Amino acid sequence: MSFPFPPPSPVESVRERGASRVGLARIAALAVLLSLISGFIGGVIATQVDESASSSSDEPYTQITAAPVVSDADSSDVSGVAQAAQRIANSVVTISSSVDGGVTEGEATGTGVVVTSGGEILTNAHVVEGASEVRVRFAGDTEPVIATVLAADAGNDLALLQVNAAGLTAATFAKPGSVRVGDQVVAIGYALALDGGPSVTTGIVSALRRTIFTDSGALNSLIQTDAAISSGNSGGPLVNMRGEVVGINTAVARGDTNSSANNIGFAISVDEVLAVLEQLRSQASGDAREEGFLGVSLEPRIDGGVGSIISTVQAGSPAKQAGFVVGDIVLAVDGEPVNGQAGLVAAIRDRSPGDSITIDLVRDGERLTLTATLVARPRD
């Protein structure tokens, strides 16, 4: 769902290409200061690709759509940082993209996570955006293999790749809903594209269900962490102490002349990742998904309160039928906080026509809960 919105309040982009043009990586690293940038967390990469598969990029790709491995371990089952890093090592790859034209012309690097043993790899959409060629390199290899971009969702900043390989080690994803504020997490990646092995940093889950603004709109359901995340590592995993993926790292906050930011990084939560993964697979198979439509416009609050204010309600829309009125303050959608004028769009972006949503709001000082059933977006 998206609505006629005024442009978001001025915020510097939270994303930049995974790594800058070869030879300019260190200059790009300095340029990210005092801005909100992509944090790229790559990973300790490993896993040998079958030699015959690696050497032949002309053979047809076979998409493997097995269900990702999801953990059923209890949150109390913990281990050390080194063990966590080792457990995810064989499921992380380095991604290189050739970009022709535009301001990001050159080579960009990022990270991916192996989803299936047959070659499905998940990464950030901006890592492969505009790429004329995408290459994936596995640990122990000196040469990359060509990858195909099966599908990309810029709004959710995730993309699904396929390489012609077999016998890969798929990552284990944490159980949705199992991540808690205060949980220790580990980020692994090639910070600033430095020579040598990957960097391993650790921290905690600082907050859940954050929303940040990007050039493509808004990212929601984010995990905030104080684990160090740096440019050059986009699309890699944030893992718990069992080495299970709890999120895909995508952004880091930097201070500017008016504010300061320390150790504030963001990862797309496993709950969101698993849902978008299935949508990417559907997109890859040619099934176009229609977006849901509610029929309101929003404006930000300027009185210091939370939520967003409904400025218009379209006649005959699901919002009108559900009883929304101008001036309602939207607080949450299906429990997802709505902060800022694009928060509602982000909160229901992945819903489809026919889905029902529950919206918490305040009207004239009274808390209300309304339910609306989305319809297909009207065509212009």
**Tokens at residue 108, please?**
């960009």
**Annotated catalytic sites, by residue?**
126, 157, 234
CB atoms within 10 A of CB 303: 6
Q: Which of 129, 142, 137 is closest to 112 using CA atoms? A: 137
Supply φ then ψ for residue 27, to 5 degrees.
-65, -40
Q: Cα separation of 134 and 108, whole Å?
A: 10
* Beta pairing partners, 359: 333, 370
55 touches 158 (CB < 8 A)? no
* 3 state DSSP class of 210: strand
Q: Cα separation of 89 and 176, whole Å?
A: 22
* Beta pairing partners, 15: none
* 3 state DSSP class of 28: helix
Q: Cα separation of 44 and 86, whole Å?
A: 8
134 touches 140 (CB < 8 A)? no
Q: Cα separation of 110 and 95, whole Å?
A: 5
